[in-house]
């Protein structure tokens, strides 16, 4: 079973394969928008699967944080989110809103 870190390491050629945005719909509802090519969606699926499998097996922590600054979000476009967190747990993290910039 591969870890998220191993999957990212093996897929460095998939730069800019996904666009992940947050926003609001015309009716004001919060939304996540994910667009990409088939390879980008497969990479995202592998990341989610690895996190779920590892967490269920107790092999690694239930939380992974991918950040643009660290280079771990290489698979996203430049206008995508800057932080992508995956929590695998029976207890969800507390809601935390970030203030708008600018």
For residue 79, CA distances in Å to 13, 51, 55, 89, 94 come to: 18, 25, 30, 29, 26
Where is pLDDT greater, at 92 or 4?
4
The verdict on residue 71 lying in a domain is yes
Would you say residue 57 lies in a domain? yes
- 97 in any annotated domain: no
Q: Is residue 55 part of a domain?
A: yes
In angstroms, the CA 49 to CA 42 distance is: 10
Higher pLDDT, 55 or 14: 14
Residues spanned by the domain of 19: 4-87
> What average pLDDT is seen over the chain?
88
Domain annotation covers residue 95: no
| Structural domain includes residue 92 | no
Counting the structural domains of the chain, the total is: 1
């Amino acid at each position: 079973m591969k870890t998220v870190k191993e999957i990212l390491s093996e897929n460095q050629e998939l730069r800019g394969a996904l666009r992940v945005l947050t926003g609001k719909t015309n009716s004001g509802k919060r939304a996540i928008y994910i667009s990409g090519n088939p390879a980008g969606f497969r990479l995202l699926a592998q990341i989610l699967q690895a996190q779920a499998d590892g967490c269920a097996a107790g092999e690694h922590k239930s939380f992974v944080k991918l950040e643009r600054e660290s280079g771990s979000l290489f698979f996203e476009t430049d206008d995508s989110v800057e932080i992508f967190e995956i929590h695998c747990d029976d207890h969800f993290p507390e809601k935390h809103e970030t203030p708008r910039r600018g």
